[in-house]
Amino acid sequence: MKRRVAILISGRGSNMAALIRAAMAEDFPAEIAVVISNRADAGGLEKARGCGIPTLTIESKPFGKDRAAFEAVLQSALEEHRIDLICLGGFMRLFTGEFVQRWYGRMLNIHPSLLPAFPGLDPHGQALGAGVKISGATVHFVIPETDAGPILMQGAVAVRDDDTPDTLAARILEIEHRIYPHALRLVASGMIRIEGDICKVEGSLGSGDTLISPAPTS
């Protein structure tokens, strides 16, 4: 039986769209049961509806700083839709520790850096400011600390000397759209186990590929 997934968004929902496309495959082990936004004007809602996915808006602004009250309404919606897994796709609201613990090991997020490097805001600017030669995206399980949960999957790109935060972000976004569906497939297939703070994939030997940047000349 396919795992039922809720995608939580606050904006355009580009990663949401990638997950929806992947889940349309007959052999994909999860189905997108609902897309939930905390903003009624989120562009991703229309995209989801266009794909035939049920949507729901739970405005967070009226709750102010009362995160627990917002989460109580959200939890009721998740239970109503019989949700097994949550994927965050640009969901711009922090959760309480209690909510995160309830969904521990079942809530995924994607961050546009190679965590644990450059968590939080402006990861592309942080990466360029540090002068790194490789950056990328990370899918991780959500814990109370921001961008700090067990790492499930990562993808990398070379950083160019003429990159700006916007050009780097555009290339990393392509990586995000590739790895997030693969990560969800692994979790929904039951191929993931968490040992302490480490996430391991059953039967994974890695690709054996390397990425060196700048490329060696000989």
* Dist. CA 44–CA 142, nearest whole Å: 22
Q: Are 71 and 47 in contact (CB under 8 A)?
A: no
**Full strand arrangement of the beta sheet holding 151-158:** 55-57, 30-37, 3-9, 85-89, 107-111, 134-141, 151-158
**Among residues 81, 111, 124, 182, which one is catalytic?**
111
Q: How many CB atoms within 10 Å of residue 215? A: 7
The DSSP call for residue 153 is: E
Verify whether residue 111 is a known catalytic residue: yes
Residue 102: exposed, middle, or buried by beta-carbon count in 10 A (0-12, 13-18, 19+)?
Answer: middle
Please count the residues of the chain. 218
Q: Give yes or no for a contact between 5 and 30, defined as CB atoms under 8 angstroms apart.
A: yes
Residue 190's nearest CA partner among 84, 99, 89 is 84
- Which residues belong to the active site? 111
